[in-house]
Amino acid sequence: MAKILVVDDSSTVRDEVSTFLKGSGLDVVTAVDGKDGLAKLRADPGIKLVVADVNMPNMDGLTMVEKIRSELKNSAVNLIMLTTESSANMKERGKAAGVKGWIVKPFKGPAVLETFKKLVS
């Protein structure tokens, strides 16, 4: 089954997002920062969508998505940023790394559920 990887250093956000997505019938794995996210993605080819925060310790979300494309050579996985950031520079960097969409927190599950389902199908 296609999975969504939720990467956020905040346990409250990880819990909130994954609880909503699981409750909507989606399969979810979580990671606590960019490094952990890369490791989870490397280990699980079933992951079809990554929803990641930007500001995280150890490795930030934009560095993680750049490494997904450059180091993991994974161009198939869909990338969405879920963050408090909305600066044009950040978004440009995300776009250049292949990020497909940007959500400014707070997470409002029902508003994005259908898109998430399409991205993992």
Q: Which residues bind other proteins (CB under 8 A)?
A: 10-13, 15-16, 19, 55, 80, 83-89, 91, 94-95, 99-108, 111-112, 115
DSSP E strands: which ranges in 1-121? 3-7, 27-31, 47-52, 78-83, 101-104
Q: Closer to other proteins at the Cβ: 37 or 94? A: 94
Least distance (Å) from other proteins to the CB of residue 107?
7
Q: Closer to other proteins at the Cβ: 42 or 108? A: 108
80 and 13 Cβ atoms separated by less than 8 Å: no
Helix, strand, or coil here: 107? Answer: coil
Least distance (Å) from other proteins to the CB of residue 2?
18
Q: Closer to other proteins at the Cβ: 1 or 111? A: 111
Least distance (Å) from other proteins to the CB of residue 11?
5
Closest listed residue to residue 50, CA positions, set 91, 62, 58: 62
Give the C-alpha separation, 49 to 46, whole Å: 9
Least distance (Å) from other proteins to the CB of residue 66?
15
